[in-house]
Chain A
């Protein structure tokens, strides 16, 4: 290979090549090429996003661990802590959907139990293209089977998800996996910082194979026509092995046999060893010929870059190795000493008696390139906008029928029925619900998870969309009485070397961070996925989030649907004068979805608090956000269980044909009179003066919605909602 071919093969640009030469004082040699390629890839180094991520709001008294470790850790206040994170597996899932999605789940689980937390909940945020786009049915099928195949087998319930469809994902789907783990009282948090001269470096788990070699750098570039040829870069997962790893790793940690631990994820052994050493300010002496191999023809470079799954690297004291090995053997796994910790800050890599290279881990990790990619500063183009056209049908019934039968608005039951949502025995609310709820074992408290980011809002405006990625899920939690504690994000964007995707990135991240600060829910973990671009077409910028909430009492949660007669149903609207936005009722580019918009995030935070106060009491029996299709569609969803609403609120067309940005439907206890209910709601909303409009819609009745001059039977609603999926995906029914 000449130099040009080499740079291309290792995906290193000429400026980076010059920087490497300067660092080393010479040309890189042998495996050094591979190490730089991996460690300086966008995927591992965050070189385009670092400058902006540094500004994220990431701390609060509850946060024990933020960025820099495998996952963030939050204190729940009574001895328990939770760790959670979200991560993308977009590129591999598009190339090979089953394995791509499965290993996405496996990878995010390892980030959690690496820290000593037992994984107790999984979620997934998926964005697909149009149902009839090329390969889309098989992509949907493969991704869903992959998530289920892995999650079901490891025995961690998949409790929540969000699935979006839009043409901008036709050639670049998004698969983001979320995982949450629990440290029960007294359990220690483990970090990846290697230390203790003379300690062993131990390799555990599956043997190393050729799969995933160059995976990290593959994920750091755009797709072209031959994505097919990249299939060998996708890893193959084995959830059974992962289950054994979970149990054995938690056991050795509990027995105090572990000094430091890190999973081998992106860029495998290279990234885990360099990061463990750099964090600890130590060196590692590693003999690559001791790494257990699946295939004896693997070269040192393959071993360094392999992304074979279900592998961990840990540091233990020599005197404790025997006990450690015994635990792994009991679980049917091998533990191999492949090196030692040294005082000298150098990673020395040996191969069959030969020293391949000696490199300073700090130098590689800390002095990775940081790019100030060009972007344009966000401006509010909406404040004075007056053009507004809604493409919504004029009749509420038509809105309901169209919304419920669309791929965006129909039931996702086909998807989540393939996931085990209850293993672990703590699930209070599953995938069918607006938020998922897990009981903390043996307590009266519950944590809730809801995923955020509404791509149609991102298409409207990146900053507003960024705010919304936190604000909307926080409100979904609030109307079930949960307080948002912290956030994880998975920032899926296009090519950062182009101004538009980079500008969207900066605006969205700032919006998210500002909202998080205002509600004191810090961003504690996450990842960035750039280059979601295929043949120069970028995806909708999609900063997905996982927002985790806590509720201290065990009273009944407001239901998502009306379950009895006689409840009083109210529509609570936040700043209705600003709702000149047609949500889903826009053209493909979201261009008709324009309008006045000047969201005051302090007011929004106040409103969220008010809604939580309101919905924390048993006086509220049911609650639901109004959401992207506006009032009529959410009334239909509210009425799915056979109880609808009857009333004469005197609504006008503009109440139906636009998105009610942060409005909610609330149903109060049947024993409350109209005056009592109104008084209660007003009192709860008093800290949000002048910003809230309360409209009484009517009372819950059996079998139908009958509002003003229109009506529809609950049975028709349910029929359309439940049966529309198979019309879009005929072969998947």
Chain B
């Protein structure tokens, strides 16, 4: 059974949901506090949940990226351990320099909560693995105000060349460059996405394809 460290910053609010998702997929989720140091060898991977860390002060994710626990996450990333950031977690990973690009205010300037269709461009080696194959379309909810993915053109072509684009929106809700909803680092062990797979675990939630991301 795999053990996943679930990071909690002040203002994180999808932490309980991630624990539910990890448990449903047969793993064990354990909270990690932002001020504590972590023995990374105790874990098989890490998830940074969504929310409003530090109330989105300064910029979404900017303050959390400086928290003590992030030093350990950087070390885990460099050792090739699986790390995933969802929504605010994705913003934090970008701010921490572990993922390329940045997340900006939606073009509508408003928070958007809705179900979207996503195309799998390049599966993550751990999160979801081959369960969702290339080209397959899945249905997850989004819920964010700062979800417009931005990266300059030169880096964008690098993303495509290295197969770092994880998921794209079928119908771009927020103005993201190249419809990008999720990306990975060059090595492929760190990934981030704006949509919430943990809100699509069961049919009663409105869809169950998200469970595959946690298996």
Contacts and interface: CB of A to CB of B under 8 A. Distances in A.
A520 to B, nearest CB: 28
A420 interface: yes
Interface stretch (A146-154, A293-301, A360-368, A377-385): A146-154
Interface string B135-150: 0000001010100000
B52 A425 contact: no
B127 to A, nearest CB: 17
Contacts of A244: 10-11
A427 B143 CA distance: 14
Contacts of A153: 11, 13, 52, 55-56
A243 B13 CA distance: 8
B10 to A, nearest CB: 6
A428 B205 contact: yes
A243 B11 contact: yes
A554 B203 CA distance: 12
A421 interface: yes
B14 interface: yes
Contacts of A422: 113, 141, 143, 196, 199, 205
Given A421-B113, A421-B143, A428-B205, 9 more contacts: A152-B52, A153-B52, A154-B13, A155-B13, A240-B55, A243-B10, A418-B110, A422-B196, A424-B16
A332 interface: yes
A351 interface: no
Interface of B: 10-11, 13-14, 16-17, 20-21, 50-52, 54-57, 110-114, 141, 143, 145, 196, 198-199, 201, 204-206
B13 A423 contact: yes
B17 A240 contact: no
Contacts of B145: 152
B143 A425 contact: no
Contacts of A531: none
Contacts of A424: 16-17
B199 to A, nearest CB: 5
A152 B143 contact: yes
Contacts of A243: 10-11, 13, 52, 55
Contacts of B17: 423-425
Contact of B198 (A155, A240, A416, A425): A425
Contacts of A155: 13-14, 51-52
Nearest to A244: B10
Contact of A239 (B55, B112, B201, B204): B55
Contact of A425 (B51, B55, B56, B205): B205
A425 B112 contact: no
Nearest to B50: A423
Nearest to A419: B113
Nearest to B53: A240
B201 A420 contact: no
Interface in A261-293: none
Nearest to B173: A417
A63 to B, nearest CB: 28
Interface size class of A (residues with CB under 8 A): 20 to 34
Contacts of A497: none
11 contacts: A145-B110, A153-B11, A154-B13, A240-B11, A243-B10, A418-B110, A422-B141, A423-B17, A424-B17, A425-B16, A428-B205
Given A422-B143, A425-B205, A439-B204, A152 B11 contact: no
A565 interface: no
Given A239-B55, A420-B111, A428 B204 contact: yes
Given A152-B111, A422-B143, A427 B54 contact: no
Given A155-B51, A425-B205, A148 B111 contact: yes
Top 6 A-B residue pairs of the complex, sorted by shortest distance between their CB atoms? A155-B13, A240-B55, A425-B17, A153-B52, A422-B199, A420-B143
Interface in A518-574: 554
Given A417-B114, A420-B111, A420-B113, A240 B52 contact: yes
B39 to A, nearest CB: 20
B113 A418 contact: yes
A503 to B, nearest CB: 42
Interface of A: 145, 148-149, 152-155, 238-241, 243-244, 331-332, 416-425, 427-428, 430, 439, 441, 554
A426 to B, nearest CB: 8
B143 A423 contact: yes
B5 to A, nearest CB: 18
- Pick the most buried of A416, A423, A439: most chain B CB atoms within 10 A of its CB: A423
Contacts of A441: 20
A441 B114 CA distance: 23
B205 A427 contact: yes
Nearest to A154: B13
A239 B57 CA distance: 12
A425 B13 contact: no
Contacts of B198: 425
B204 A238 contact: no
Contacts of B114: 417
Given A153-B11, A243-B13, A425 B21 contact: yes
A331 B10 contact: yes
Contacts of B21: 425
A420 B50 CA distance: 12
Contacts of A241: 55
Contact of A417 (B56, B113, B201): B113
A244 B141 CA distance: 26
Nearest to A238: B55
B36 to A, nearest CB: 10
A423 B13 CA distance: 8
A425 B16 CA distance: 8
B54 A240 contact: yes
A241 B57 CA distance: 12
B14 A423 contact: yes
- Pick the most buried of A424, A439, A441: most chain B CB atoms within 10 A of its CB: A424
A419 B54 contact: no
Nearest to A416: B113
A425 B199 contact: yes
Contact of B112 (A145, A154, A417, A554): A417
Contacts of B13: 153-155, 243, 423
A524 to B, nearest CB: 27
Contacts of A145: 110
A731 to B, nearest CB: 13
Nearest to B20: A425
A331 B113 CA distance: 28
A418 B111 contact: yes
B10 A332 contact: yes
Nearest to A425: B17
B113 A239 contact: no
A143 to B, nearest CB: 14
